[in-house]
Structure 1
Amino acid sequence: MTSDKTISTGGCLCGQVRYEVTGPLRGVVNCHCTMCQKLHGSFGAHSKALKSDIRITEDQGLAWYRTSDVARRGFCRNCGSSLFWDPYELDATGILAGSLDGETGLETIGHIFVAEKADFCVLDDALPKFDASSDGALSMDFK
């Protein structure tokens, strides 16, 4: 978790999408759902921040794809970088941790949707594991 006063920045591979977060980032949660497998090749490593703390500073390549009735995903239409998981009914947005710039100070805090994980993915750490969503059970799991 980053502190309340931290300004974090990030973006896509080509630079056509940039963002900043003014406020805390949740620790990283590895999502093993089938959608994340298709998008990321295995699992999605997501941090999260309040929507009110996220500001898009460059949106030239930003595109959104409605993946379900629950959320849309933000990515760069130029380079294909996956950036956001944006739920319609929650006050926070998931941010792909790998899209953050430099050292983040974040730690992985758990695994979700492990009932759907790929058969080649071994989970042998002591972190909390949830068959589906954590439903707010993890630290700073904004709702």
Structure 2
Amino acid sequence: MKGSCNCGAIHFSVAPEANRAVACHCTKCRKQSGHVWASGQAAPDQISITGDVTWYKSSEKAKRGFCPTCGCFLFWQAHDEDAISFALGALQNPTGLALQEHIFVADKGDYYDINDGLPQKD
């Protein structure tokens, strides 16, 4: 799977084994992305990133990676783990992925409902 930011300054490729796909409804993801943030997750040896990603420490638990030119929010990484989450919306189709669950639904916006039948975690 291959992905990039809007301007093309950041490119990334992910091994097919990186198949966890979730929709995050936490307040920080919604503020950063403008709505729900859908992401996959990969071990460091499963993802290759080209370009100068700017990392922003968004909380005591995690940092977010974005393109310094166009501002695309592409990556999320917890400070205490190696796995890197990557934006599903930045991938070229077809991805072969399907959402598996919704996370942080206790923080979701009041302007939408989740009705797809997937598991939901607070």
User: Aligned-pair distance for 1:22?
Assistant: 2.9
Contact 2:18 2:46 in 1 (8 A): no
User: Aligned-pair distance for 1:26?
Assistant: 2.3
Alpha-carbon distance in structure 2 between the residues aligned to 1:67 and 1:130 = 21
Match of 1:53 in 2: 46
Partner SS for 1:98? helix
Partner SS for 1:10? strand
- Structure 2 residue runs of 5 or longer lacking an equivalent are none
Output the TM-score relative to the length of structure 2.
0.93
Aligned partner (choices 97, 107, 110) of residue 101 of structure 2: 110
Is 1:96–2:96 an aligned residue pair? no
Aligned partner (choices 24, 31, 35) of residue 24 of structure 2: 31
Alpha-carbon distance in structure 2 between the residues aligned to 1:17 and 1:83 = 9
Output the TM-score relative to the length of structure 1.
0.80
Is 1:9–2:11 an aligned residue pair? no
Alpha-carbon distance in structure 2 between the residues aligned to 1:23 and 1:102 = 13
- Structure 1 residue runs of 5 or longer lacking an equivalent are 1-7, 132-143
Partner SS for 1:108? coil
The alpha-carbon distance between structure 1 residues 23 and 107, as it changes in their structure 2 partners (threshold 3 A), is: closer
Partner SS for 1:101? coil
Number of equivalences: 122
Contact 2:12 2:47 in 1 (8 A): yes
Partner SS for 2:100? strand
User: Aligned-pair distance for 1:69?
Assistant: 1.7
Partner SS for 1:48? strand
Alpha-carbon distance in structure 2 between the residues aligned to 1:114 and 1:26 = 21
Match of 2:61 in 1: 70
The CA RMSD measured in Å over matched residues stands at 1.2
Alpha-carbon distance in structure 2 between the residues aligned to 1:12 and 1:93 = 16
Q: Percent identity?
A: 40
